[in-house]
Amino acid sequence: MELSGGEIIVESLKCEGVEYLFGYPGGAVLHIYDALYQQKDIQHVLVRHEQGATHAADGYARATGKPGVVLVTSGPGATNAVTGIATAHLDSIPMVVLTGQVPRAFIGSDAFQEVDAVGITRPCVKHNFLVSSIEELAPTIKKAFYVASSGRPGPVVVDIPKDVTAPNIKIPFEYPESVDLRSYNPVLKGHPGQIRKAVDLLVSAKRPMIYTGGGVVISDAAEELTEITRTLGYPITNTLMGLGAYPGTDSQFIGMLGMHGTYEANMAMHECDVLFAVGARFDDRVTGDVEKFCPGAKIIHVDVDPASISKNVKVHIPIVGDVKIVLHEILDTLRQSNQRPDNPSIETWWARIRKWQADDCLSYDRASKLIKPQQVIESLWEVTGGDAYVTSDVGQHQMWAAQFYKFDKPRRWINSGGLGTMGFGLPAALGVQLAHPDAQVACITGEASILMCIQELSTCLQYDTPIKVINLNNRYMGMVRQWQEFQYDGRYSHSYVDAIPDFVKLTESFGHVGMLIEKPADVEPALKEAFALRDKLVFMDFVTDQTENVYPMIEAGKGHHEMRLAPARELA
Amino acid sequence: MRHIISILVENESGALSRIAGLFSARGYNIESLTVAPTDDTSLSRMTIVTKGTDEIIEQITKQLNKLVDVVRLVDLTESLHIEREMMLTKVTAMGGMREEIKRLVDIFRGHIIDVTETSYVIELTGDGDKLDAFIKAIGGKSIIEVVRSGVTGIARGEKALKV
Ligand SMILES: Cc1ncc(C[n+]2csc(CCOP(=O)(O)OP(=O)(O)O)c2C)c(N)n1
Ligand SMILES: [Mg+2]
């Protein structure tokens, strides 16, 4: 079969089992678009901005574990995609981004819509390629999918000059069956000696903590994690990226940790003697001041990326390997040995943790006459039976979503944790809903974030994605306002969102349903009504208490044991 | 501490900027960097001299290893090794100075590889200290131009960096 470059791309994507291609056309990719037009297997999703394409592909990838795929044109198409590529990079999300490039003969001449896409994206991809001949197309796409989805996943950019895709130049097509990359061989199995040491240390613990992150979700190791945690009977905390990998409603789960984690999770981190870190990277939002981090703990760290180990915090027992495989190995070793946890010590430890829990650090004023954002998330959890896919934007609403929606399953909580990209939520929800057409999908957002990719409401109409947008409208860039309140004596410099649109009208003009909710008593009925509209996108504009802050909080330079609690709590 | 990291990379366009970019993006220090193809034309060998605490050097080697183009690397300074750098020095050489410079070049076991009525170009190979000592001995006033290749190195004995 002789195919043109454009056709080779399309056929290669089919060979990779790609269902959706999120894209936006332009001069440099027109040959590829022509090839797409002539087939039916891959559904192209026409976004309204290339940033939306990358976030939608990213949401699809997070919800399914399969790589998200993007096609954009050269120049501005590529630069618009960069924010989404960087977002996926920091959260280790598998993604393949095909960017058009000017014809080979024009590269370097400042041609129309030329940017050095490989150069611009280099620091925010796992790897990238410039395809220099039609013969290289299929092998490069094969490599791109392999690199993107193996080891520690990440985005891979393939930059394709227009002339390589020309319809009149054809070569025989054969998609490679395997990839041979001598320079890239991720280690997947843990070192047996290290695993034995880890088990010895785990069972010897008197005040153990299990701290897990996005790596558990990415490696599909929720089951293994749950089994180990239950077998040991130890307390577990998740990072923002790791929520759902262990059931959020389980009694061994003591909440998220870090800057806006629970008091009990952070206190337990501070006092633990053995820390079992799995698929987590000791991010600064998690550790607080590293000098004060887990002062008395021996640390075991499992991660597929050797560079994550001892990067921010020195660990005692590093185990490089795929989280799922290593957890299996640890479970096996644990079962085969006759070592068991020190139950009396663990009981004492739990008693201490229960005391911290009794402080109820997430409590808020339930009698308020204004809608409290926490109430909206709690109601959302109830109305959706705790089983929705929830995407979010960035800000206070994101933290409340993480604190109050108790995720019992992995891949349900989809947010930009690493880069913190406002504008992520809506297009991500689009990708999630396409991946799971029958699932309930909610996008929790703020009135500032939502405006960063609001144009994707149009895409949502075109592809019938009945997302429920939960806009926690506090008429502030709330997270910025909160920092200004705490650190700048309430000088609210440019954090007020002025001239906010009428979201109901705006939504309606996009062809969707809009709702305005202003009273606490209306929150739950409105949510029920919205979710009953199963085939409609509903934008719910909740007018919330402007002054509400996210508590508890670890401020800059503080340790886990120095949390700032809600003011009412400090009085009590 | 000063470290010499030797890297085998795929001989592909972009490999050099990936490595240089990693150093600048993560704020690592580069004292010198040399690169050239090897006997295996699919590979280039790069030698980077850097400085940092043990933790930083560990991160540098891990981050380099993570790059898809990096095939293999070794920190030469972890074991016995030889390091060499080549330097070309152009000096003013007139009258009585001509003989004196020639003697100095002999002492340092260098070569004069270009001669005019007023100048010499001197080729000298050695480790950094030797090259520095030579510059000092020649004296700043007579030096017209100095170019150094940057450090390359190799492990002693049978150990080798290859695929
Ligand atoms: C693209 C981008 N620009 C700026 C920021 C910094 N930032 C973080 S939160 C925030 C405010 C978000 O406001 P809103 O969406 O209304 O959410 P709220 O905090 O009020 O819940 C800003 C500006 C960011 N995270 N992303
Ligand atoms: Mg807001």
Q: Take atom 5 of ligand 1 and give the residue whose Cα is closest.
A: A422
> Of A39, A43, A112, A223, which one is the catalytic site residue?
A112
pLDDT at A532 > cutoff 60:
yes
pLDDT at A531 > cutoff 80:
yes
Taking the centre of ligand 2 as the mean of its atom positions, its distance from the CA of residue A446, in whole angstroms, is 4
> Is A14 considered catalytic here?
no
Summarize pLDDT for A108-138 with one digit per residue, the tens: 999 999 999 999 999 999 999 999 999 999 9
Beta-sheet pairing, A538-543 with A513-517: parallel
3-state secondary structure at position B114:
strand
- With CA atoms as reference, report the closest residue to A388 among A446, A443, A306, A350: A443
What ipTM was estimated for this complex?
A: 0.93
Instruction: Tell me, using a 6 A CB cutoff, whether residue A449 lines ligand 1.
Output: yes
Taking the centre of ligand 2 as the mean of its atom positions, its distance from the CA of residue A456, in whole angstroms, is 19
C-alpha to C-alpha distance for A52 and A49, rounded to whole angstroms: 5
Taking the centre of ligand 1 as the mean of its atom positions, its distance from the CA of residue A392, in whole angstroms, is 11
- With CA atoms as reference, report the closest residue to A435 among A83, A154, A63: A63
C-alpha to C-alpha distance for A333 and A1, rounded to whole angstroms: 52
- Residues whose CB is less than 8 angstroms from the CB of residue A483 and which lie 6 or more positions away in sequence, other chains included: none
Taking the centre of ligand 1 as the mean of its atom positions, its distance from the CA of residue A401, in whole angstroms, is 15
Q: Which pLDDT does position A569 carry in this prediction? A: 53
- Residues whose CB is less than 8 angstroms from the CB of residue A250 and which lie 6 or more positions away in sequence, other chains included: none
Percent of chain A with pLDDT over 70: 99
Summarize pLDDT for B67-126 with one digit per residue, the tens: 999 999 999 999 999 999 999 999 999 999 999 999 999 999 999 999 999 999 999 999
Under the banding of pLDDT at 50, 70 and 90, the label for residue B141 is confident
Bridge partners, A20 (sequence order)? A43
Summarize pLDDT for A322-331 with one digit per residue, the tens: 999 999 999 9
Under the banding of pLDDT at 50, 70 and 90, the label for residue A571 is very low
Q: Which pLDDT does position B128 carry in this prediction? A: 93
Q: A183, A301, A310, A312: which to substitute to probe chain B, counting the most B Cβ within 10 Å?
A: A183
> Is A50 considered catalytic here?
yes
C-alpha to C-alpha distance for A246 and A256, rounded to whole angstroms: 11
Question: Cβ separation of B163 and A182 shorter than 8 Å?
Answer: yes
Predicted TM-score (pTM) above 0.90 = yes
> Of A7, A50, A264, A447, which one is the catalytic site residue?
A50
Q: Which residue of chain A has the CA closest to B66?
A: A307
Under the banding of pLDDT at 50, 70 and 90, the label for residue A467 is very high
Summarize pLDDT for A351-373 with one digit per residue, the tens: 999 999 999 999 999 999 999 99
Under the banding of pLDDT at 50, 70 and 90, the label for residue A1 is confident
Q: Which residue of chain B has the CA closest to A311?
A: B59
C-alpha to C-alpha distance for A224 and A230, rounded to whole angstroms: 10
Instruction: Tell me, using a 6 A CB cutoff, whether residue A444 lines ligand 1.
Output: no
Beta-sheet pairing, A274-278 with A298-303: parallel
3-state secondary structure at position B130:
helix
Query: In the structure encoding, which two tokens stand for residue A531, read together?
Result: 């979710």
**Mean pLDDT score of chain A, rounded to an integer?**
97
C-alpha to C-alpha distance for A293 and A299, rounded to whole angstroms: 11
Query: In the structure encoding, which two tokens stand for residue A39, read together?
Result: 């087939």
- Of how many residues is chain A composed? 572
C-alpha to C-alpha distance for B41 and B51, rounded to whole angstroms: 30
Percent of chain A with pLDDT over 90: 97
pLDDT at A555 > cutoff 70:
yes
> Is A173 considered catalytic here?
no
Summarize pLDDT for A239-294 with one digit per residue, the tens: 999 999 999 999 999 999 999 999 999 999 999 999 999 999 999 999 999 999 99
Question: Cβ separation of A127 and B68 shorter than 8 Å?
Answer: yes
The count of CB pairs under 8 A between chains A and B is: 39
Q: Do B38 and B80 form a contact (C-beta atoms < 8 A)? A: no
Instruction: Tell me, using a 6 A CB cutoff, whether residue A395 lines ligand 1.
Output: yes
Comparison of pLDDT for A568 and B144, the residue scoring more: B144
* Substitution candidate for ligand 1 out of A51, A449, A486 with most atoms within 8 A of CB: A449
pLDDT at A570 > cutoff 70:
no
C-alpha to C-alpha distance for A305 and A130, rounded to whole angstroms: 25
A183 touches chain B (CB under 8 A): yes
> Is A162 considered catalytic here?
yes
Taking the centre of ligand 1 as the mean of its atom positions, its distance from the CA of residue A416, in whole angstroms, is 12
**CA–CA min distance B68, chain A (Å):** 6
Question: Cβ separation of A306 and B65 shorter than 8 Å?
Answer: yes
Summarize pLDDT for A184-203 with one digit per residue, the tens: 999 999 999 999 999 999 99
- With CA atoms as reference, report the closest residue to A257 among A266, A248, A249: A266
Q: Do B124 and B113 form a contact (C-beta atoms < 8 A)? A: no
Asked if the bond preceding A552 is cis, omega within 30° of 0, the reply is yes
**CA–CA min distance B62, chain A (Å):** 5
> Is A462 considered catalytic here?
no
Q: Which pLDDT does position A180 carry in this prediction? A: 87
Nearest ligand 1 atom to the CA of A423 is 1
Supply the DSSP string of A246-268, one letter for each residue.
S-TTSTTEEEE-STTS-HHHHHH
